[in-house]
């Protein structure tokens, strides 16, 4: 079971606020290209595709790449801008053996209750040598993420997520080895003021899992900082690459 319900409210918040742009997320395009080496005819599984923003971006960034979107949440699938999107999760992928050249999981791995089972399932569907690309905030690695600066109480939620070592161990048992671990910078918002104006609690698992008082205090800190801080908001999530 996911840490949050991913109901209509969550899905609407994701659709409104959590989407990559060519400029802001150019480093992710380059990182995926480096580790996947996409070519026309290749097939990428977007697992936990959500509202489809990454699947849509990949098809725009890499012409000829076939993206298969899979998500367990009916509310997310209903709002998905990418079609088709299949029902399934990390332990039940509705694809044949050795049928994809790589897998993308963006801010998904902390919702997977059984990492070992997920690793075995991805070993089944990924062709030999294909990468599993995991974009995530991992336990113990919050320093480069702006959100935690203003909501420090949410660090305790992040620290309940799997660590990089946890994921590596689970996937090693399924025959995967670590190919790379690298922080990837992204321009999340044009300014702190823009970030504050667009913040939706329902779009961020760590914010949903702190108290209302803690959330309110964080919003106050963020708005106060937004009054005086200029420049773009640059965050860095980690990319863990397993093969």
On the question of pLDDT at 1 being above 70, the answer is no
Report, as an integer, the average pLDDT of 239-243. 98
Cβ atoms of 38 and 63 within 8 Å: the answer is: no
Other CB atoms within 10 A of residue 141 CB: 19
Please tell me the distance from the alpha carbon of residue 84 to that of residue 71, in angstroms, as a whole number. 11
Model confidence band, residue 14 (pLDDT cutoffs 50, 70, 90): confident
Report, as an integer, the average pLDDT of 172-200. 96
Pick the CATH number of 8-142+157-187+235-242 from 2.60.40.10, 3.40.50.150, 1.10.10.60, 3.30.70.890: 3.40.50.150
- List the strands of the sheet with 132-136, edge to edge: 85-87, 66-71, 43-47, 102-106, 132-136, 233-242, 178-189
The answer to whether the predicted template modeling score (pTM) of the entire model surpasses 0.75 is: yes
Other CB atoms within 10 A of residue 99 CB: 14
On the question of pLDDT at 24 being above 90, the answer is no
Please tell me the distance from the alpha carbon of residue 102 to that of residue 33, in angstroms, as a whole number. 12
- Give the model's pLDDT for residue 2: 61
Model confidence band, residue 4 (pLDDT cutoffs 50, 70, 90): low
Distance of alpha carbon 123 from its chain centroid, rounded?
A: 20
What are the residue ranges spanned by the domains of the chain?
8-142+157-187+235-242
Task: Report which DSSP code applies to 162.
Answer: P
Report, as an integer, the average pLDDT of 116-145. 98
pLDDT digits (tens, 9 = 90+) for 183-196: 999 999 999 999 99
Model confidence band, residue 16 (pLDDT cutoffs 50, 70, 90): confident
On the question of pLDDT at 243 being above 90, the answer is yes
Report, as an integer, the average pLDDT of 126-135. 98
Report, as an integer, the average pLDDT of 187-207. 95
Phi, psi (rounded to 5 degrees) for 65: -75, 130
The residues, any chain, with a CB within 8 Å of residue 203's CB and separated by 6 or more, are: 10, 13, 14, 16, 17, 18
């Amino acid at each position: 079971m996911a840490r949050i319900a991913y109901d209509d409210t969550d899905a609407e918040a994701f659709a409104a606020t959590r989407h990559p742009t060519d400029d802001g997320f150019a480093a992710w395009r380059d990182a995926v290209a480096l580790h996947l080496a996409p070519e026309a005819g290749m097939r990428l599984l977007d697992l936990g595709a959500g509202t489809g923003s990454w699947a849509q971006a990949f098809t725009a960034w890499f012409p000829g790449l076939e993206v298969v979107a899979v998500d367990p949440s009916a509310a997310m699938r209903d709002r998905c801008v990418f079609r088709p999107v299949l029902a399934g999760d990390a332990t039940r992928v509705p694809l044949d053996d050795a049928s994809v050249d790589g897998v993308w999981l963006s801010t998904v791995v902390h919702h997977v209750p059984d990492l070992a089972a997920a690793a075995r399932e991805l070993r089944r569907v990924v062709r030999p040598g294909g990468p599993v690309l995991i974009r995530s905030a991992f336990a113990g690695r919050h320093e480069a993420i702006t959100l935690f600066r203003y909501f420090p109480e949410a660090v305790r939620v992040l620290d309940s997520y799997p660590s990089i070592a946890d994921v590596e161990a689970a996937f090693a048992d399924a025959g995967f080895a670590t190919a790379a671990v690298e922080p990837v910078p992204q321009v999340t918002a044009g300014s702190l003021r823009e970030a504050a104006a667009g913040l939706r609690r329902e779009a961020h698992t760590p914010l949903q899992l702190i108290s209302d008082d803690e959330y309110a205090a964080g919003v106050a800190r963020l708005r106060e900082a937004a009054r005086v801080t200029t420049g773009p908001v640059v965050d860095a999530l980690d990319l863990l690459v397993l093969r």
